[in-house]
Amino acid sequence: MAFIILYVTHKNKEEAKKIGDFLLNKHLIACANYFPVESGYWWNGIIESDDEYVSIFKTRREFWNLVKKEIESIHPYDVPCIMKIEVEANDAYEKWIFSETKYDKTDA
């Protein structure tokens, strides 16, 4: 019953929580974690450095395309970082992930 986590970067905690709350309210994710990070990256031909927030969203494997599309629709970055990581956990936690996530087509 493995599931996935999505690693997503944001410009600040408020943006991270806005997206996390949006996904939680739709029951597309069971949990969101937020972490401050310092990022270095290439942008427009130069190396940039910024403080950002990373969110980790936990959801069902079959929700990948749907959750990715929802994030892309509201994320303010031109090129958002949305990475999928397949994970396994203890049985009770995996069952909890599945019990707290659902897809309601009327919500889409």
52 in any annotated domain: yes
41 in any annotated domain: yes
Query: Which residue range is the domain that position 83 belongs to?
Result: 3-103
28 in any annotated domain: yes
Is the distance from CB of 27 to CB of 14 less than 8 angstroms?
no
- How many distinct structural domains can be found in the chain? 1
pTM confidence score: 0.92
pLDDT digits (tens, 9 = 90+) for 7-45: 999 999 999 999 999 999 999 999 999 999 999 999 999
108 in any annotated domain: no
The CATH number given to whatever domain includes residue 48 is: 3.30.70.120
pLDDT digits (tens, 9 = 90+) for 69-96: 999 999 999 999 999 999 999 999 999 9
Distance CA(97)–CA(10), nearest Å, equals 23
Distance CA(42)–CA(33), nearest Å, equals 26
